[in-house]
Structure 1
Amino acid sequence: MPARPRIHPESRAFSALLGLLAALPTFGIDMILPSLSETAAALHVPTAAMGAAMAVYLLGLGAALLVYGPVSDRLGRRPAIVCGCLLLIGGSLGCAASRTLPQILLSRAVQGIGAAGPGMAVFAMVRDLFAGEAARARMSFVVLIVNVVPMVAPTLGAGLMDVGGWRLIHAAPLAAALTILAAMPRVAETLPCAPGPAPSGILRAYRKILANRGFLGHALCNAAAAGAVFAYITGSALVFVGALGFSPSAYGLLFGSSSLSVMAGAALNGRLAARGINSHRVIGAGLAGATLLAAMLLVDALVFTPSGVPVIAAMAGMGLAFGLVSPNAIHGATEAAPEAAGTAGAIVFCLQMIGAAIASDLVARLFDGRSALSMAAVMLGGCLAAIAAFAGLVRPAARPSSSRFPSQRHGEPV
């Protein structure tokens, strides 16, 4: 039987594969949200105890990222993807079969560890295969998927729960992992021939990357911007359902429609990249717009009667701005460490998850039960932190004398 043809990196099939890889980590975060109460009832535990199911997933995801990155630089991207998908399948089956809280917590941790492999590999693969404006455009697509999934996953989870209960929700990441595994024989290894750091040099590689101002500035800028976005993801549910009395279905439709703004931002960024617009200008414009919107929402929350209109406007504007900032920030970070793209991508994604988790927790803890004040304050804080990282670390590192790494593939300094 003749071998099936390889999936070419420029093909739509390869773009679909990148989308699946990027979506896997966030599937496990957001899709189970509608099922927490039903899962708690089925396991005979308080609903509040199910918060640990989110925490162990994030812990497993974040910790595993820091291992997958350098390992993929040594062994390749394909082993990281295959190993991660196998663990994700096992964790998903474990979640669906769980009968006690400890069982589902263990399975959720395995899910997180598994999802980290494909989630990290997608950033490294883009850096391996594409350069310059093509890399920026592909990174826009990846960031689009990463940020649209949290907006549609709760609705998809609710639909699966209506069909087959809370256990069926875990079939979605399992099906995605199986699809990726089926495609992997047709995907060539993207890691360059030269191996990355040996196991003994992993810590040295991390220190070298983190010492680079350009990398750290781009990575922290992206993490802080992600925090601002997750502030509105978490805060919007509290405001619309908890404070303004929207039904869950109405809120789901409203929230799902806000994904269009992220899509618009990513599409606009792709067009700007095609025209050769400098990525620093795009990041600066996105941060300026997001900060202005967050400040306006904060003033509205402090002065006026709570209303959904300014929150909707802020959600749309923040999604658009993030679609401009994040692809360029991630691309700038991975370009700053070309010889260790897997390790660099792991750090970027880990910092993004940390920023998102901190922002979500702050919004929930500070919510006053009636307004968008906590949402607006955390959004503004995230925007200001992103500006500080970009202005304080990225701009100085853009000068050739400041770069600790060799020039890029196109001869441009970091």
Structure 2
Amino acid sequence: MSALLVPPARKEAVTLGPIGPEAYRAFLSSPAGAALGAGFLQCPSWADVKEGWRAQLLGWGPDPAAGHLRGVALVLLRQLPGTRKYFAYLPEGPVADWTDPDLDGWLTPLLDQLRRSGAFAVRMGPSPAYRRWDAAHLKAMTGSGRRLGDVLASSVDPLGTAVAERLRARGWRRCGGDGTGDDGDAQPRHVFHVPLAGRTTEDLWSGLNQEWRRNVRRAQKEGVEVVVGSAAELPQFYRLLRITEERDGFRLGRSLAYYERQYAALNAEEPGRMKLYLARHGGEILAAHTMITVGRRVWYQTGASADHRREVRPSNALQWRMLLDAHALGADVYDMRGVPSTLDPDERAYGLLRWKLGTGGQVVETLGEWERPLGGTANQTLYRAFQAYLNRR
């Protein structure tokens, strides 16, 4: 079944209902769906990645069951142990027209559907951006104790501001509050984008800072080879990831089986949706990065590297190849995913931001994640109990 698209100017009555994965994917690949900019976390395949969650595929339109669609949503439902109630989560979703001033026309039927499904609370991640900081601007503003929120943004998105105000007026709460931190968000609030639309490969090269260009040249001179691997190399990627976590002081908490499941599910949905890039030197894999493509958007998802022979700069070589491949695919943006909010060079986390700033892109503050209980006091009590349960896990 192919999705039948409704011109935006028409104002037919819109309803929300369950749809199948074929109609969902057809909408995402249509011009109208692509214009809404769905991320990989809203693809039907993501439901197969997340264990312990039940999934619903929903669509808005004059007749969702027939494929007449204007928006879609992947809803993940997590059962609260000992009850028949669920926590509903729309990671970086729904895929909706956030420019529509009739926000209630989208969210009211969604909340009604979730209540009927037994949800006691819902969390979602609206897609509009909030603020942006250019790399060159941030490099000049680092300092002791300084954070992104202390620096005047290069631009503020009026749509993001309007959506945030409308959500607050309807009882939604921004997870982690309205500060500059990411606490409370399951997905990164601050991400790093390298714009690709309208740029040549020469533009991309000149956009790198001197250190990045020097490191890419060093990798080429040292004979670092970058190739696209397969599922067979995922164990080596995972081994390097554990080394990286130990070295850099973080823990993603994901197993090798998680990445194997992700690779299989995303590529079953569309061949080449998830790729594993490898940097080899002297016959050894020194670094491995994953890349995901949906429509005209490309993400660098996870990176890993060895502790030795770092002087040959395998990670710089990988990223430069991935940037070029994203550009060749016709992507509008290369999303390097999360960055910390610190601008303090003495903080350990700043190193990741500094590395990504070298590509010459932008730090983008998303609207973050928003949540609200569904119903009265009983559901609010369940929500607090569920949060305590997740904290114990």
In which range does the TM-score fall when normalised by the shorter chain?
A: under 0.3
TM (norm. structure 1) is 0.24
TM (norm. structure 2) is 0.25
Higher helix share: 1
Whose relative contact order is higher, 1 or 2, with alpha carbons under 8 Å and at least 6 apart?
1
